[in-house]
Structure 1
Amino acid sequence: MRNARLSTLVARPIGAAALLCLAWLAAAFTGGALPANAGWRAPAQGVTIYVESNPIHTGLVMPKVAAGVDWRGWARPEDLADPRYARFDHVAIGWGQKDFYLGTPTWREVKPRVILAALIGSDATLMHVEHLPRPAPGPDERPVTLTPAQYRRLAAFVMASFRPGGRRYPGYGAGDAFYDARGHYDAFRTCNSWTGDALRHAGVRVGRWTPLPATVAGWF
């Protein structure tokens, strides 16, 4: 009887957690399928950016100088382990939880406790900035063309995510760096939600809530 009671006590919270996960996933895919800015259409000419994605993270790749926006003052050569990477003409910028970013330089470092800690919530967030050449379009680099006005709105959102006077941290390699960011990270505002928020702010058609990579990249 004691073993049966113990099994019941253990099974109940596990079952509740599983139901919460399923409910979150259902809400995520529903929110990601409902369009914001439904009438948006890409212009024939404009500024081409890229939505980059991997199995857990999305970010934005933008030209360093375009439509009156200049990222060179935000992504300085002296912030890099090798300043020569600053010669590249594009920057990839993403937002995320500090411990997850700094503690997972490769997939082998991704641990459930780090993911869980990030999803519970944290005010410690970072911007990840990587210098790179213009990417080739593909499944992991999806091109999106914006009008100059839309691109300026997108850039303003991204710039506002940097914490004024914040610290800089070494990147994963020679051509990237981290910077203190604004914003609270949790299960409802993830790195992918930030990417979707930036695109919605610019006026681009994307899901209403985009906590997963597929809910962002699937629109492009």
Structure 2
Amino acid sequence: MKVLVKYLQKAVAILLLPAVIYALMVLIGGLIPVNEASEHTGPVKIYLVQNGSHTDIVVPIANEIINWEKIILPEHFPAWSPDTKYYSFGWGDREFYRTTPYWEDLSFKTGFKAIFLNTPSAIHITRFEKINSEKFIELNIETEQYIKLCEYILKHFQFSSEGKLKPLDFHYSNRDAFYNSTSSFHAFRTCNSWVNNALKYSGLRSCLWTPFAWPLFWQYS
């Protein structure tokens, strides 16, 4: 009996070890700032928005640097408003996006695959007429930083051979669209680490690494 208990204790320890290591990586990666000296006092206004578990980057639909409306076309949305002023960009597991519009829709199979396998990804675009939520964090960034941010976002889209985007065949509302992305989703590359990497790539304040939203928003608290 004692031998059995001993083996069970070892088995539990082996199973818990990866979770403990992952938690330590989250803590350390989330607490170490990158580009800490970035002032965020530039001429281009962007936003970060999160719902508690997922982070998006919100950018102006058009300025002198890029006109997103010529890439993410109005006809890609179920409904369009000429008052649209912003696009938000989120990234994640494609099947998760397709089958889980709400957390209560999450299945064990979808969650397991997203965490433990390399799965196809998608970019989620939502259009906004105005920004008025307390969940939005405003960043005023330099032109060069915004150019890098746009470069990062664009390289994750899966363009056709003609250089165009084709939306996927599902929506959450009349104001969003989904597109295939070039990279894969897994436990070390999540929706939040995608946004964190976008900020890091652009020279903006970010974490060393985070799969979650809270360390990223803690950097801006």
2:151 aligned partner, one-letter code: A
- Say whether 1:213 aligns with 2:210: no
1:56 aligned partner, one-letter code: S
2:123 aligns with: 127
Number of residue equivalences: 215
1:48 aligns with: 45
- Say whether 1:161 aligns with 2:156: yes
Q: 2:46 aligns to what SS in structure 1? A: strand
Give, in angstroms, the shift of residue 56 of structure 1.
Answer: 1.8
Distance 1:24 1:202, change over 3 A: same
1:154-205 per-residue CA deviation (whole Å, 9 max, x = no partner) reads 0110011101126422211111010000112111111111101100111001
How many angstroms apart in 1 are the aligned matches of 2:82 and 2:154? 18
Paired residues for 1:11-50 under 5 Å: 12-43=10-41, 45-50=42-47
1:91 aligns with: 87
2:146 aligned partner, one-letter code: Y
- Say whether 1:142 aligns with 2:141: no
Give, in angstroms, the shift of residue 38 of structure 1.
Answer: 2.3
- State the TM-score, normalized to the length of structure 2: 0.88
1:24-60 per-residue CA deviation (whole Å, 9 max, x = no partner) reads 12211211111111221111x4111111112221110
Q: In 1, are the aligned partners of 2:124 and 2:179 still within 8 Å (CA)?
A: yes
1:58-94 per-residue CA deviation (whole Å, 9 max, x = no partner) reads 1101110124111102221111111x24641100111
How many angstroms apart in 2 are the aligned matches of 1:132 and 1:196? 22
How many angstroms apart in 2 are the aligned matches of 1:29 and 1:133? 36
How many angstroms apart in 1 are the aligned matches of 2:109 and 2:81? 34
Paired residues for 1:42-121 under 5 Å: 42-43=40-41, 45-82=42-79, 84-85=80-81, 87-121=83-117
Q: 1:204 aligns to what SS in structure 2? A: coil
1:69 aligned partner, one-letter code: I
2:27 aligned partner, one-letter code: F
> Comparing 124-133 with 8-17, which one deviates more in the overlay?
8-17
Distance 1:202 1:137, change over 3 A: farther
How many angstroms apart in 1 are the aligned matches of 2:63 and 2:11? 52
- State the TM-score, normalized to the length of structure 1: 0.88
> Comparing 188-197 with 45-54, which one deviates more in the overlay?
45-54
Distance 1:163 1:8, change over 3 A: farther
2:208 aligned partner, one-letter code: R
Q: 2:186 aligns to what SS in structure 1? A: coil
How many angstroms apart in 1 are the aligned matches of 2:39 and 2:139? 10
Give, in angstroms, the shift of residue 9 of structure 1.
Answer: 6.3
Alpha-carbon RMSD: 2.1
How many angstroms apart in 2 are the aligned matches of 1:96 and 1:8? 41
Q: Percent identity?
A: 24
Which structure carries more helix by proportion? 1
Structure 1 portions without partners, runs of 5+: none
Q: 1:96 aligns to what SS in structure 2? A: strand
Q: 2:153 aligns to what SS in structure 1? A: helix
How many angstroms apart in 2 are the aligned matches of 1:158 and 1:189? 15
